[in-house]
Amino acid sequence: MRDQLRIAIFTIVEGVALVTWLALVRSDAGIFQVSASSLVAGLAVLAIGITIEHIIAYNVIHGRGLLELQGAPVGQKAVVSLIETTIWALWIALTRLNTIVAAVVLTGLLILEHTLSDNVFKGKGLFSRLIDRRTIGFSLIEAVGAAIWLTLVEANLVIVGVLILIIASFIEHTMAVALGRKETIRA
């Protein structure tokens, strides 16, 4: 039960960051049809929120205090967070062209990001492994949850969309924590 609560905390951090980011980069005129300052603020909120989420996730995996920074690979987690922020920005831009293609691209890029993140969880070099098949399932869950979230937001079902996003993220995070605690299997 303690793990689920700790996972729920960093899931909520990520959820708040994603929802705030989307609110800042989306207007009635469409995605990215906002001021430059709103775009910058949205990306900053997302990057900071994801960095906090990644540090808390690292601490959960390693049984540390949630906000303990000493000994945490803050620099590596910040790099992974910037990569993830870029992935979300690319995804939202691609949704303007085709939501299915955007979801497929999001899934593929999340597999890469989740593998890099797992490298850091295990104390390995950030780019020591680029693709880990064990991240495919939870990357797909996160991407599908995001696609449903955006679809529901655009249909003015924001609350339902956010609930779907949070549930998908919680499942993804539970699986990522379990993987983070396992020893790396050599390919």
| Alpha helix positions (H), the chain | 2-25, 36-61, 74-95, 99-121, 136-154, 158-181
pLDDT in tens, the chain (187 residues): 689 999 999 999 999 999 999 999 988 776 778 888 999 999 999 999 999 999 999 999 999 888 888 988 889 999 999 999 999 999 999 999 999 999 999 999 999 999 999 999 898 988 999 999 999 999 999 999 999 999 999 999 999 999 999 999 999 999 999 999 987 444 3
Res 1: pLDDT: 65
* Cβ(116)–Cβ(83) below 8 Å: yes
Q: How far apart are CA 123 and CA 117, in angstroms?
A: 10
73 Cα distance to chain centroid: 18
CA nearest to 10, candidates 59, 77, 45: 59
Res 71: pLDDT: 86
Q: Distances from the Cα of 112 to the Cαs of 25, 48, 51, 133, 186, in angstroms?
A: 25, 20, 17, 10, 17
Res 186: pLDDT: 43
Residue that is written with structure tokens 């949850």 in the block: 145
Local structure of 182: helix, strand or coil:
coil
Residue that is written with structure tokens 């850091």 in the block: 120
CA nearest to 145, candidates 43, 11, 21: 11
**Residue 9, phi then psi, degrees to nearest 5:** -65, -50
Res 67: pLDDT: 83
